[in-house]
Amino acid sequence: MAGLIPQQFIDDVLDRVDIVEVIDRRVSLKKSGRNYTACCPFHDEKNPSFSVNPDKQFFYCFGCGAGGNSVGFIMDYENIDFPAAVETLAAMVGLDVPREETGGNSELQRKRKSQSQSLYDVLGWTAHHFQTQLRQHSNKKQAIEYLKNRGLSGEIARDFGIGYAPPGWDNLLQAIEETPDDSNKNKTRQQKIAQLETCGMLVKKDNGDFYDRFRERIIFPIRDNRGRVIAFGGRVLNDDKPKYLNSPETPVFHKQRELYGLYEARKANRQLDYLLMVEGYMDVVSLVQFGISNAVATLGTASSIYHLEKIFRHTSKLVVCFDGDAAGKKAAARLLETALPAMSDGREVCFLFLPDGEDPDTYVRSNGKEAFFHTVEQAMPLETLLFQTASEGINLDSGAGKAKLSQRALPLIQQLPHGVFKQLMLTKLANETGADISLLQSREAEITASKSPSSSKASAATPTDRNQRNSDKSNKDQQPSNNNANDTAASKPKKLASSELGLEKTPIVWAIALLLHYPQLAKTTEMPSCVEAIDSKEAKLLLKLFTHIKTQSQAVTTSMLLGYWHGTSEAAALNHCASRHKPSEEEAVASDEFSDVLKRIEEQFEGRELSQFIAELERKPLSDLSEDERKKLKSIGLNKSK
């Protein structure tokens, strides 16, 4: 993916996500005073030392020293790189990740952007070619008759850009303009062939020749959020297999993340009350023909968490259609487990089971639009399916049956993110089984703990290892962590004592803590010039932190600061300061403390300077003192006789 992620966007994402929700989806948190606690997912422990601060939006483990913001947690827990972590969080809050050119990589970024644009251009050209074939090819009658038999009008075919890939192995090759006497045009032809191969439209044979991937099929362009064609799906017109064929994965198309019809649904509906997920392209376009313009379909894959997060960017409710047979029920059970981690408060997933032998296309054609809407209204809520699935085959009149229900339902409920909905599911389970809710909560926490990453995973997820494996080098100038990717060999996080970090509560360390909790203090205060002269890691870190905040054009937060230094040699010290040295919760008091601590830094510096001066004088006879030394000696009122 070309381009750096703008820092302003990263800060915006951090401002929108809640670190408690981010972590609780993966590690079960318990409220403890103002913070949340858990057993650390990055090292083995029996007593919880992992703390999450919801006010300042950072986490810290008092056992192993792991810490940071939401991006850092996702990077280390999921063992993914920085861009992927930002994308994960952006999806949670319904944002598309932008990219920008920057620094010394601008030429590379321009090249990548140009290559991507070229692929979009050639895919657009291909879509136009298929649409032209549907109107003009000598064999178009078969395709047009098929569409008419499915009840599709020319208007719907136009709106969805439906086309036709005629019989033959080299239609696309023939369609590329070629003038043998013009070397430039010939070069353009070769480039287009290469791009068509990259897009999966041409397949290369062993002898180096190419043939068309799509032949004798109705063609459905697949569009991204901006309406650009990124891939195609083809429905066969004869008895060939497979019945449906999709473009392969390409630099601009990842089928696990895309949905057919989403662009068209957004275009047709200013406000999407809900989205309807169906099985295939024809279901989507057939429903639109009957005035139901909010349907989408996956692209030959099972529904993924990426699909769900993409849907929830545009609506809070999803209704999924299934066949009413055994296969449909199995598919619904699979989607149920996929959906659970995405069920934040306010989101809704319902399951629509159609009569056996019916799909949305046949049902709406047989029964009409209003009957279909009535069926949608009767769709089963996720919580109903959850308990129906968990209680299948169980005698709930017996104690053993109720215990069995608890055993089945708790692992499902455990996957829900922290919130009211999860609490309601636990309450419902308590009502169904008669068990005390505190017992169920305790058992749910045990399930979470048993699923925590092993120490070997924690070892693999350390920041240094992560950066060594980082495949997206385009971000190396964006975060300090990437500049220190190979500084040290990383291993399982070890317990870091204050003495190891050099972070006993000195005035400089206290100043660092105050700045982390109240970054705005740097905007209204000047750092004493003596700090630059202090030769210590703590002083250098204070100066670096102060300068970074001072130069930011917008307000920064604790979370942003910890994220900026995540994975660097300074990260452990900053996490330690933020967690172990907690200033007043009142900003006015903290401001006074900051002024006082800066004065103490100055006083300590002057005291050390004076001590060094006196020690030096003690080694000199009076006659060897310079004029400046004599004046300084007089000013401090010392009497030297030697």
CATH number at residue 512: 1.10.860.10
How many other C-beta atoms lie within 10 A of the C-beta of residue 320? Answer: 25
Contact residues for 519 (Cβ-Cβ < 8 A; gap 6+): 549, 555, 556, 557, 558, 561
Using a pLDDT cut of 90, give the percent of the chain over it. Answer: 34
CATH number at residue 218: 3.90.980.10
Same domain, 552 and 502: yes
- Measured distance CA(638)–CA(623) in Å, rounded: 16
Query: Domain ends where: 453, 488, 523?
Result: 488
Mean predicted confidence (pLDDT) in 477-481: 42
Question: Which pLDDT value is given to residue 163?
Answer: 96
- Measured distance CA(235)–CA(260) in Å, rounded: 14
Residue 416 lies in a domain: no
Same domain, 119 and 74: no
Same domain, 452 and 330: no
Residue 570 DSSP one-character state:
T
Mean predicted confidence (pLDDT) in 598-604: 82
Q: Model confidence at 389, in pLDDT bands (50, 70, 90)? A: very high
Q: Model confidence at 452, in pLDDT bands (50, 70, 90)? A: low
Per 3-state DSSP, the chain is made up of helix, strand and coil in percentages (nearest 5) of 50, 10, 35
Question: Which pLDDT value is given to residue 641?
Answer: 45
Residue 641 lies in a domain: no
Per-residue pLDDT for 471 more than 50?
Answer: no
Edge-to-edge strand ranges of the sheet holding 67-68: 30-32, 35-38, 50-53, 58-61, 67-68
Query: Domain ends where: 246, 272, 295?
Result: 246
Per-residue pLDDT for 498 more than 60?
Answer: no
Mean predicted confidence (pLDDT) in 360-387: 93
Question: Which pLDDT value is given to residue 416?
Answer: 92
Residue 372 lies in a domain: yes
- Measured distance CA(364)–CA(133) in Å, rounded: 30
The DSSP bridge partners found for residue 31 are: 36
Domain that holds residue 212: 107-246
Residue range 428-441, pLDDT digits in tens: 999 999 999 999 99
pTM: 0.57
Same domain, 56 and 38: yes
- Measured distance CA(546)–CA(518) in Å, rounded: 11
Residue range 544-559, pLDDT digits in tens: 899 888 887 667 788 8
Same domain, 91 and 172: no
Whether the bond between 493 and the residue before it is cis, its omega within 30 degrees of 0, is no
Same domain, 85 and 35: yes
Residue 638 lies in a domain: no
Using a pLDDT cut of 70, give the percent of the chain over it. Answer: 80
Contact 300, 332 (CB under 8 A): no
Residue range 126-159, pLDDT digits in tens: 999 999 999 999 889 999 999 998 889 999 999 9
Contact residues for 517 (Cβ-Cβ < 8 A; gap 6+): 56, 558, 578, 582, 583, 590
Residue 472 lies in a domain: yes
Domain count for the chain, please give it.
4
CATH number at residue 464: 3.90.580.10
Residue range 8-59, pLDDT digits in tens: 788 878 877 889 889 988 888 888 888 899 999 988 888 899 999 888 889 9
Residue range 298-335, pLDDT digits in tens: 988 888 888 898 888 788 999 999 987 888 889 999 99
Same domain, 331 and 452: no
Same domain, 502 and 471: no
Residue range 154-198, pLDDT digits in tens: 999 999 999 999 999 989 988 886 434 444 444 477 888 889 999
Per-residue pLDDT for 561 more than 70?
Answer: yes
Same domain, 144 and 211: yes
Same domain, 156 and 91: no
Q: 230 vs 6, which has greater pLDDT?
A: 230
CATH number at residue 322: 3.40.1360.10
Q: Model confidence at 451, in pLDDT bands (50, 70, 90)? A: low
Q: Model confidence at 460, in pLDDT bands (50, 70, 90)? A: very low
Residue 636 lies in a domain: no
Question: Which pLDDT value is given to residue 102?
Answer: 53
Residue 28 lies in a domain: yes
Residue range 343-371, pLDDT digits in tens: 988 899 999 999 888 889 889 989 999 99
Contact 147, 162 (CB under 8 A): yes
Mean predicted confidence (pLDDT) in 229-253: 88
- Measured distance CA(253)–CA(215) in Å, rounded: 21
Question: Which pLDDT value is given to residue 563?
Answer: 81
Q: Model confidence at 118, in pLDDT bands (50, 70, 90)? A: confident
Mean predicted confidence (pLDDT) in 460-474: 35
Query: Domain ends where: 215, 246, 277?
Result: 246
